[in-house]
Amino acid sequence: MTPESDLPSILSAESLLLTLITFVYGLLYPELANASAIQLGGRQPDDVGPDRARVRQARGRAGVLAAAASVVGAVFTPPSVQVSWHFLRRLPDGVDAFHDYNTVATTLVLVTIGCFLIAFHATWMVNRLTGTLSRLSP
């Protein structure tokens, strides 16, 4: 089990990584959303080559972001599962389960969940961009 004294360091590292990933996603999101909204609009599929390239580039960026968020979430899942299991084991004690409540451990679990939520949303965006690309392809 992860020593309780290591939890603040682990939380700091994961929080920093989640902040960076979220910042990059916030910067990229307008580009991703605009690329996913491209329509043929009466044009022939052969006339949208630059738009297809833009959608492919956006899809690649979203894929890299989804992979990065998944890796960060996966790396920090074991300590999050350990602290969650420690809490769930004490849950039958009722109110006494909260006697040793640890805000750092709770935040670690929530930050790990945040990593997976960003990964899920970026993966959803990859799927959306793939659909846009198929509409633009001949």
Q: What is the pLDDT of residue 98?
A: 66
**Cα angle: 54, vertex 37, 126; to 5 degrees:** 65
Q: What is the pLDDT of residue 4?
A: 61
- The structure's pTM equals 0.84
Q: What is the pLDDT of residue 48?
A: 74
d(CA 16, CA 41): 42
Task: Please report, in tens digits, the pLDDT of each residue of the chain (138 residues total).
Answer: 455 678 888 889 999 999 999 999 999 999 999 999 888 777 776 777 788 889 999 999 999 999 999 999 999 999 899 888 877 777 776 666 666 777 788 889 899 999 999 999 999 999 999 999 888 887
Q: What is the pLDDT of residue 2?
A: 57
DSSP state of 99: T
